[in-house]
């Protein structure tokens, strides 16, 4: 099961930029317990909430920071490093997401930096991105993406989530009510748990 860490504003000279650092998650406030994807009614039909659509936040920065592995190694701590990258724009069918929360999946990230299991192709690579699932807001959209708005909260997967910004395919972005830690857990941990329950139920029938 993955934990979630915030991509939050950093202190010091780099004001206005964001760094990936753990902090205490915000506590729940009265009246703020809003379901992420929807609610199930008496007929077991899922009712989707209308996503919150926010206004654009101004021009994008020219550069952003990302956590990468300098090479493959025995541990995450050994190879993880922060790099500055030029801002890139999404291509056709892609979405640029300003990430707010990132899922921390210890197993997957360990395999990723070691070049084990599904990540064998990482062996021999340098400065390859880390992270997979997260939540944030849409910062830019590529050609052909006509059902998302700039500033719209999304849960996302197949993205370099340990980063201030990341690009992924439109089909890997799910509109949500808020880009919080619960949303970051939806696309991988929640789907894994749901699949396990479906398989177990099928075996019990």
| Domains of the chain from N-terminus onward | 3-8+48-204 (3.90.180.10)
Return the CA Rg of the chain.
18
Q: How far apart are alpha carbons 66 and 45 in whole angstroms?
A: 40
pLDDT of 69 > 60? The answer is yes
pLDDT of 55 > 60? The answer is no
Residue 56: pLDDT band with limits 50, 70, 90: low
pLDDT of 27 > 50? The answer is no
pLDDT at 92: 96
pLDDT at 140: 95
Strand partners, 67: 82
pLDDT of 143 > 90? The answer is yes
Strand partners, 19: 8
How far is CA 25 from its chain centroid?
A: 16
The token pair at 198 is: 């479906």
How far is CA 116 from its chain centroid?
A: 22
Residue 20: pLDDT band with limits 50, 70, 90: very low
Mean local confidence (pLDDT), 156-162 = 92
Mean local confidence (pLDDT), 135-154 = 96
pLDDT at 189: 77
Q: How far apart are alpha carbons 135 and 173 in whole angstroms?
A: 9
pLDDT at 141: 96
pLDDT at 191: 78
Q: How far apart are alpha carbons 38 and 71 in whole angstroms?
A: 41
pLDDT of 53 > 70? The answer is no
Strand partners, 156: 134, 173
Mean local confidence (pLDDT), 39-48 = 30
Q: How far apart are alpha carbons 2 and 205 in whole angstroms?
A: 30
């Amino acid at each position: 099961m993955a934990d979630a860490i915030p991509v939050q504003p950093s202190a010091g000279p780099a004001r206005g930029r964001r760094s990936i650092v753990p902090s205490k998650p915000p506590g729940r406030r009265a009246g703020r317990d809003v379901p992420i994807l929807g609610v199930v009614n008496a007929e077991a039909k899922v009712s989707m909430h209308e996503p919150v659509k926010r206004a654009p936040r101004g021009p994008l920065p020219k550069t952003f920071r990302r956590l990468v592995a300098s090479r493959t190694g025995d541990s995450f701590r050994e190879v993880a490093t922060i790099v500055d990258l030029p801002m890139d724009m999404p291509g056709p069918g892609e979405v640029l997401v300003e990430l707010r929360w990132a899922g921390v999946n210890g197993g997957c990230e360990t395999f990723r930096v070691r070049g084990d299991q599904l990540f064998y192709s990482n062996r021999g690579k340098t400065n390859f991105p880390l992270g997979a699932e997260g939540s944030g807001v849409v910062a830019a959209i590529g050609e052909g993406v006509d059902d998302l708005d700039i500033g719209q909260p999304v849960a996302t997967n197949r993205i370099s989530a340990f980063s201030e910004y990341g690009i992924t395919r439109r089909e890997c972005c799910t509109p949500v009510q808020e880009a919080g830690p619960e949303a970051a857990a939806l696309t991988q941990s929640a789907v894994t748990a749901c699949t396990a329950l479906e398989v177990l139920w099928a075996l019990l029938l």
